Chains A and B, each alone.
Chain A
């Protein structure tokens, strides 16, 4: 029950701003005479009005010289930087490297976290053996061990992979564990009565029951994944978006720095949208994911 409550609030918090443009405006007027195309276009664009206005003010401020380019370059300069780096292919190269690191770390840390979550969730003895150790490690902020990681791995790829893996491990471990422990005992009993094998019981009852919680863990993990990667790439790297921005900083290319920040934001948003789509599919049975037929 708890998970579901959590999930709902998370959903609400996240969707309130995102799904409005396409969702509310047309349906509220559908009953009346069909809204004109112009009206609908206006409604769809309305949420973007304020950001665009801010952007315009910013651009004007830069052009007029109120904001020095060293502090904040004009949006048009950022766009030009984007175009320039995109044309040489450098941007995509760095973005691809960063994404690769992020996903590799997620895969390693996430699978270990999921595996241990399942193991400890299913077996009391595994939990007594492992859980207190994991809880102790959990209380160390994973970015605090960066110096140690650099000592261990140098500044190569392993260091970044390790940091990201540690970062994503805990949200996935904790939520998987919690999800498995809170699967309705009545359902498990029912499945046993109907003669499901241990494996079928796990695959068809325990795993789907834990899935909402696991996916909440995944979304937390994605946030931590990007955060860790940004820090790790900024400290030591010869490739990746973090390197690109740090490099640009040395040459005082504030526009490229800003571009790097925006790319991080876009990558983060993309990852979040992907998980949301995954949730939408995997949790189609869940009442809070069912489309309201009104």
Chain B
């Protein structure tokens, strides 16, 4: 809970103070309606679409003819077996790999090459061990990076750790640094490739709360890979099950937030996802 009360929307504040003034009060209740009209102007999530996307490595076809529309600002959880092509899907969105067939469309425009508006949190944090925490967060070194990086660190609850080496941080703190690094560039789409998978259950739950809070503040489109169906059901607007290279289940979750994993409604959604995996 302490995380959820953190430095509220520092980045968003910097972005457009005047616009925010009128809408600020809405944020308090964590209103369920927020998913439709997210109250953080100045930051738009970007819409994302897959048009008959296929991806093969040699003979092995990992993704088959995937068609998918994700509206701007949606929180999507992707569940699937190991080796099911989840990471591959995210690498296609980032532009780290190109699809074998079909196209990935971001904000209405077909993509090619690395996408600046997309940020990916890797399964491992991938921090530069020879740079301090703040140096890692401000990796792009764009003008004013120090302030932006410090704000982002405050946003993820890591103020005061700016000068530390990444090697002295805990696993959860490292992923928070990596989240802060992604936030600095104000992504339109944030991809989370099971970045909290290696953490203990308590820390993972904490990190998911943090992610949910930041998503609500910033309004970017979010794709979260997780192997925990309960977590998917608690966090996401929509759950996709990836199986044998295609989407086996596409389920909207229309439950009010904040959700609790032990709510019967949430639990029954979780059970339903589990049947499809």
- List 23 A–B pairs whose Cβ atoms lie within 8 Å, in order of A's numbering: A187-B126, A189-B96, A190-B122, A190-B126, A191-B128, A193-B96, A193-B114, A194-B139, A194-B140, A194-B181, A194-B185, A195-B140, A204-B131, A208-B128, A208-B130, A211-B130, A285-B129, A285-B131, A286-B130, A286-B167, A290-B165, A290-B167, A290-B168
A44-93 residues at the B interface, CB under 8 angstroms: none
Are B131's CB and A186's CB within 8 A?
no
Distance (whole angstroms) from the CB of B185 to the closest CB of chain A:
7
Distance (whole angstroms) from the CB of A195 to the closest CB of chain B:
6
A20 within 8 Å of B by Cβ? no
How many angstroms between the C-alpha atoms of A261 and B141 in the bound complex? 52
A192 within 8 Å of B by Cβ? yes
B228 within 8 Å of A by Cβ? no
User: How extensive is the interface on chain A, given as a class?
Assistant: 20 to 34
User: How extensive is the interface on chain B, given as a class?
Assistant: 20 to 34
A18 within 8 Å of B by Cβ? no
How many angstroms between the C-alpha atoms of A61 and B168 in the bound complex? 55
How many angstroms between the C-alpha atoms of A205 and B94 in the bound complex? 20
Closest to A205 in B: B128
How many angstroms between the C-alpha atoms of A208 and B136 in the bound complex? 14
Given contacts A285-B167, A287-B167, contact A191 B139 (CB under 8 A): yes
A-B pairs with the 8 shortest C-beta distances?
A208-B130, A190-B126, A285-B130, A285-B165, A194-B139, A287-B167, A186-B126, A285-B129
B91-118 residues at the A interface, CB under 8 angstroms: 94, 96, 114, 116
B89 within 8 Å of A by Cβ? no
B72 within 8 Å of A by Cβ? no
**Across the interface, which residues of B come within 8 angstroms of A205, CB to CB?**
128
A274 within 8 Å of B by Cβ? no
B44 within 8 Å of A by Cβ? no
Main secondary structure of the interface of B (DSSP, over half): loop
How many angstroms between the C-alpha atoms of A290 and B96 in the bound complex? 35
B124 within 8 Å of A by Cβ? yes
Closest to B94 in A: A193
Closest to A191 in B: B139
A196 within 8 Å of B by Cβ? yes
**Across the interface, which residues of B come within 8 angstroms of A286, CB to CB?**
129-130, 167
**Across the interface, which residues of A come within 8 angstroms of B122, CB to CB?**
186, 190
**Across the interface, which residues of A come within 8 angstroms of B124, CB to CB?**
186
**Across the interface, which residues of B come within 8 angstroms of A196, CB to CB?**
139-140
A10-49 residues at the B interface, CB under 8 angstroms: none
How many angstroms between the C-alpha atoms of A78 and B114 in the bound complex? 69
B120 within 8 Å of A by Cβ? yes
Closest to A189 in B: B96
**12 extra interchain contacts, Cβ-Cβ under 8 A, other than A191-B128, A208-B130?**
A186-B122, A186-B124, A186-B126, A193-B94, A193-B119, A195-B140, A196-B140, A205-B128, A208-B128, A285-B130, A290-B167, A290-B168
Give the contacting residue for B120; candidates A184, A193, A209; CB below 8 A.
A193
Distance (whole angstroms) from the CB of B177 to the closest CB of chain A:
12
B124-168 residues at the A interface, CB under 8 angstroms: 124, 126, 128-131, 139-141, 165, 167-168
How many angstroms between the C-alpha atoms of A88 and B141 in the bound complex? 57
Closest to B119 in A: A193
